[in-house]
Amino acid sequence: MKRFYWKESFVCVCNSSYCDDVNELGVTTHGKAIIYTSDMKHDRLERTEAHFKEPVEKLVEITIDASKKRQSIIGFGGCINDNVAILTQNDDTKGKERRKKLLNQYFSKSGIEYSVGRVPIGANDASVKEWSFLNHPDDYELEHFYTLDENKIGLIKEIFAISNKIKLFGSAWSVPAWMKDTGVMKGTGRIKGTFNREYYVLYAKYLIEFIKVFKESGVDFWGLTIMNEPGNQTRTWPGTYITYAEQRDFVKERLGPMMKHTWYTKDVKIIAHDWHRDRIFDAAMTIYQDNDTMIDGLGVHWYVPGNWDKLVKTYNLRQDKFILATEATIGGLGHEYGNWQSAEMYAYDIIKNLQNYVGGWIEWSLWTDTHGGPSYVGNFVGSSIILNRTYGYYDSYEFYKQPQFYAIGHFSKFLPPDSVIVSSGFDTFDGNSNLQGIAAETPAGNLVVVILNRDKRNVYNLGINDGRENKKILKVTMKPHSIRTIIWKKHNNKIEL
């Protein structure tokens, strides 16, 4: 159900008894393409079909070469912050039904099929209080490690019941307060003492214990980051400062060996950096000085624009290591209901990341309240789904799917894990061009193209030319302010778009 709040765009309204689903892809066949369209004024992942035909007009052609493969897709997803669990705890019957619908929208085949979840290790700016898994000072044996919150673990188990292929990774924003030189989690400080003191060993044990307690509850983790934004000297939310060299040495001398010699963490991926894109190559130059590093990849956040060349340089430095976009959100704009600009910002960033060797893209909170919270530090930001928890004119069980929900869905639903990005003419486009795109091959043998047109007026007529179809083409029209995903069965290694 559409509801217009913002000029010519809208949110899709759901509640405890109804929510629109994404139409099933169905079977792809030779000569036919399935197209999903979202635009500012009318559609949200609207499914149509089209067929390859003889060309009758001049179209924009872009070569796609599926024989030139790049990075594999890790996945797409969001962060299971404290506020995500808090906003749906202690719900009545209608509230529980709404929670099911919320999770299905993200993780089920009738939704946008998220495949990755980020889980905070302790408090962050989306918490309602400061807390860690180890609140007792001088607890060097971890005897009082925090018992898992039943609501949070219950939520995660519900996600796994919908899809058992979810990759979870943990991120700490800060070490426990008593292990930090400032004595508080909020604001930047450093781990107490020098690298050779007990606190670095204790922090490694802390991260491993986090994996263990979830394992004992039946939940496995795919990875963890060393620290969220370890170079960010924040005063606003929890943080711990760790240099590039300290990240490298911490994994080499402490965390890496301990994880590799523990049966339930030996296969868990270790992710360093987990900060801005403009700093990633500097981080890589230091971290990868250890040729035998046990670090599996680097995380990047989207808050500094551009710097795509830094991703390419990082990939070329160590092509055996992955890059993952681990955090993105929009401030005040993000919880303006129905603002289409949010969708275009997300789609553009995802495309540029995928063009430049990033293997996936993770949003901030799965959902927030109507103020962009809760947040004990006042960091109110947007999310792809907003929950209404107020009693008034509208149903208090409503939730609103923002335009950016569908923007992410154009990728997450049709580029499953282990899809491979392939070479395309979009790679040579000016980075500021309003027309952007990416191409990939899925494990099922489908070719997928996602295209974004940010232009206010221009319409682009494109043509997919599949060589096995006797040079027939598929005409694709990109209207202003639109996103389209095109899926068809692969024929050969060279396709013209």
- Active site amino acids: 229, 327
Hunting for tokens 């749906």 — which residue is that? Answer: 88
Token pair of 297 as six digits: 């990849």
Hunting for tokens 């530090």 — which residue is that? Answer: 377
Separation of alpha carbons 487 and 128, rounded Å: 43
| Pairing outcome for strands 269-276 and 223-225 | parallel
CA separation (Å) from 212 to 135, 268, 339, 439? Answer: 18, 11, 42, 39
Helix (H) or strand (E) holding 484: strand 482-489
The count of other CB atoms within 10 Å of the CB of residue 39 is: 22
Beta bridge partners of 324: 299
| Pairing outcome for strands 360-365 and 75-79 | parallel
Helix (H) or strand (E) holding 404: helix 403-412
Nearest to 179 by CA among 225, 132, 145: 132
Separation of alpha carbons 377 and 389, rounded Å: 20
State which amino acid sits at residue 210: F
Hunting for tokens 């309003």 — which residue is that? Answer: 434
Separation of alpha carbons 295 and 270, rounded Å: 5
Beta bridge partners of 116: 77, 167
* Contacts with 479 (C-beta within 8 Å, 6 or more apart), sequence order: 39, 453, 459
Helix (H) or strand (E) holding 202: helix 198-216
Which backbone phi and psi does 428 adopt, to 5 degrees? -95, 0
Token pair of 335 as six digits: 């919880």
Which backbone phi and psi does 359 adopt, to 5 degrees? -100, 5
Nearest to 29 by CA among 487, 477, 494: 487
State which amino acid sits at residue 400: Y
Nearest to 344 by CA among 290, 392, 273, 406: 406
Nearest to 488 by CA among 8, 50, 11: 50
The count of other CB atoms within 10 Å of the CB of residue 179 is: 26
**Helix, strand, or coil (residue 328):** coil
Token pair of 203 as six digits: 């922090």
Nearest to 250 by CA among 234, 273, 222: 273
Hunting for tokens 């599926």 — which residue is that? Answer: 66
